[in-house]
Amino acid sequence: MHTSTGRRAAAALTTGIALAATLLAPSSAQAVLGGTESTRAYSFMGSFQPSYPASPHPDKHGCGVEVIAPQWVLTASHCAGRNPTNAKAGVPRGWKVRVGSLDTGSGGEVAEVDHYYRLATSRDEGGFWGRDVALMHLRTPVRAKPVRIASDTPPDNAPVRIMGWGMTCDDINNAACFSTRLREADTVVQPISKCPSAEPGGGDLCIGSSDGSVTASNMDSGGPALVRDSGQWAVAGVVSGPDESGKTLYTDVTKHADWINGIIKGTDVPPDDLIPDMEGTTDLSGCAGSVVRTPASRPQDPALMLTNGHCVQGDWPAPGTATVDQPADREVPIADRQGYTQATARANRLVYATMTGTDIALYRLDKTYAQLKAERAKVFQLASAPVRAGDSLTVASAGQRHKCTAEAVVPHLREGGYQMDNSIRYATSDNCAPWHGDSGSALLAPDGTTVVGIHNTHNDDGAQCTDNNPCEVGPDGKVTSQKGRSYGQQVHTITKCLAKGSKLDLSRQGCTLTGATPRTR
């Protein structure tokens, strides 16, 4: 099953927003470690406070920014990457910055972000490291005096000042760990050889004390490395990520001055990314889901959310078993067309989950279908017919869409002690490449509103019948496996097991889900 896995990008970006669901906690997290609380505000220094995903910081601080023109702020690319589709350029929703204040919750000026431009994303073929920089355009100009880009890369051992509102301890669930007061420290640029995590020949700066006692930290991402240039502060770098030595890697923004100036002057502005239609997707932090209804569902019925059995919280259902009618408490954000949250519900009951025969879980929400309709949240129709070979499918992942075709319906699929039946194998193509984190994604029919299946696994390395390496079992018992194959599961059997009020009845006529009661004549 497609359990979520860490990526090098996630590990290296832990000095960013540092949300528990998406980023790993750093080994050491102190707000500008070795620094002191700033005694005066810097007009150009600001706090980026995005709405997606929700920051655990009490003031919604996520990253640092620097005003470099009246309507432009500089930050790290992975900070502006807090958009639902990891787009490189586009229009955000609910993003703002507070600049010129010592406090993330009061003072200074507040301005709305109406556009973002990222130099690189983690998917770029040109590489991400040393290019982790972004520009954000403000809807209205701020009065703050901008800071300019340094004229050149600072040499080794050059003095720099770092600052930010990073965490004061490691526990992201502890509100006391989040600093609301700006902190700063004076340190130096180290030879790049002192930061083993830096890419050779890349555009990173290695900054911090030699023993790691003075450095940036979690939620300091995007914050500046300031140098004195012609008697004034200038920004030479922005926080990108931690180095294994305990120091911090900053992107050298002097190397990207042409890119920055081309956008600000309007002479070389990248086009906005084409955003796929994300409406109705639910992001479950490592899995996806969708709110579904059957033809018999009534407006007053509690809404149901569909995902994988292996996406449930807690223990997976054991092979051959199903989990039925258990308490639950998980947030279910339902996306709009751009992937931002249109409505939010809570799953308060795990109605059913199994990984035998199929790989599904159904949650009951605390809102009815009528309430979700009033909030303009998209609800999908649950199919009552199986997927057949040749059917066109869209894998509706959280953040992207994969256009796939059902290449075959496999009699049996085995993986890590579980067996699923009549599984859907996708035809391999560049447009059909679901991966870890896409588990639970609805397989949509061409009408875009009917859920005909659910994505659940992929053969990672060609192994046979092990976790993340499913194998096919033919009618004759022959076992085969092939690296790179992706699979989904049928969902048409669900409708016959649901009664009025979004209730599960495994004894209903025609219900064949695992745990169903055999009917006798």
What is the mean pLDDT, run by run of 10 residues, along the chain of 521 residues?
A: 42 33 31 87 97 78 97 97 92 96 97 98 83 98 98 97 88 82 96 92 93 91 96 97 95 98 98 95 96 96 98 96 97 95 97 98 98 98 97 95 97 97 95 94 98 98 96 95 97 96 95 82 43
Question: Looking at the structure, do residues 224 and 291 belong to the same domain, yes or no?
Answer: no
**If we measure between CA atoms, which residue out of 506, 492, 507, 518 comes closest to residue 324?**
506
CA-CA distance, 341 to 94, in Å (whole number)?
10
Tokens of 444: 């949509």
The reply to whether 515 falls in a domain is no
Question: Looking at the structure, do residues 155 and 195 belong to the same domain, yes or no?
Answer: yes
For position 26, what pLDDT does the model report?
Answer: 30
For position 25, what pLDDT does the model report?
Answer: 29
Residues near 2 by beta carbon (within 8 Å), at least 6 away in sequence: 308, 310, 434, 435, 436, 437, 438, 439, 455, 456, 457, 458, 468
CA-CA distance, 84 to 82, in Å (whole number)?
6
CA-CA distance, 342 to 378, in Å (whole number)?
9
Question: Looking at the structure, do residues 212 and 149 belong to the same domain, yes or no?
Answer: yes
CA-CA distance, 496 to 435, in Å (whole number)?
30
Question: Looking at the structure, do residues 331 and 440 belong to the same domain, yes or no?
Answer: yes
The reply to whether 175 falls in a domain is yes
Residues near 157 by beta carbon (within 8 Å), at least 6 away in sequence: 188, 189, 190
Question: Looking at the structure, do residues 255 and 293 belong to the same domain, yes or no?
Answer: no
Three-state SS for 372? helix
The reply to whether 184 falls in a domain is yes
The dihedral through the CA atoms of 275, 278, 283, 285 has a sign that is negative
The reply to whether 273 falls in a domain is no
Question: Looking at the structure, do residues 177 and 320 belong to the same domain, yes or no?
Answer: no
Single-letter amino acid code for the residue at 514: T
CA-CA distance, 78 to 180, in Å (whole number)?
22
Query: Any idea what the CATH number is for the domain that residue 194 is in?
Result: 2.40.10.10
Tokens of 204: 């990173």
DSSP 181: B
CA-CA distance, 101 to 113, in Å (whole number)?
18
The reply to whether 512 falls in a domain is no
CA-CA distance, 390 to 395, in Å (whole number)?
15
Question: Looking at the structure, do residues 344 and 373 belong to the same domain, yes or no?
Answer: yes
Q: Which helix (H) or strand (E) holds 260?
A: helix 257-264
Question: Looking at the structure, do residues 309 and 425 belong to the same domain, yes or no?
Answer: yes
For position 28, what pLDDT does the model report?
Answer: 31
For position 57, what pLDDT does the model report?
Answer: 81
**If we measure between CA atoms, which residue out of 344, 254, 296 comes closest to residue 494?**
296
303 φ, ψ (degrees, to nearest 5): -70, 155
CA-CA distance, 380 to 345, in Å (whole number)?
16
The dihedral through the CA atoms of 56, 60, 62, 63 has a sign that is negative
Beta strands in 370-444 (DSSP E): 380-382, 392-397, 400-415, 418-426, 442-444
The reply to whether 467 falls in a domain is yes
Q: Which domain holds residue 494?
A: 281-504
For position 86, what pLDDT does the model report?
Answer: 92
| Residue where one domain finishes, among candidates 205, 236, 264 | 264
For position 31, what pLDDT does the model report?
Answer: 59
| Residue where one domain finishes, among candidates 238, 264, 290 | 264
The structural domain count of the chain equals 2
CA-CA distance, 503 to 519, in Å (whole number)?
19
The reply to whether 12 falls in a domain is yes
Compute the residue count for the chain.
Answer: 521
pTM of the full predicted structure?
A: 0.84
CA-CA distance, 496 to 511, in Å (whole number)?
5
**Burial (0-12, 13-18, 19+ Cβ within 10 Å), 520:** exposed
Question: Looking at the structure, do residues 326 and 250 belong to the same domain, yes or no?
Answer: no
Question: Looking at the structure, do residues 489 and 393 belong to the same domain, yes or no?
Answer: yes
Tokens of 142: 């701020």
Three-state SS for 497? helix
Question: Looking at the structure, do residues 297 and 446 belong to the same domain, yes or no?
Answer: yes
CA–CA distances in Å: residue 198 to residues 10, 96, 206? 15, 31, 8
CA–CA distances in Å: residue 243 to residues 196, 206, 219, 519? 7, 8, 15, 62
The reply to whether 161 falls in a domain is yes
**If we measure between CA atoms, which residue out of 76, 12, 55 comes closest to residue 221?**
76
Question: Looking at the structure, do residues 179 and 311 belong to the same domain, yes or no?
Answer: no
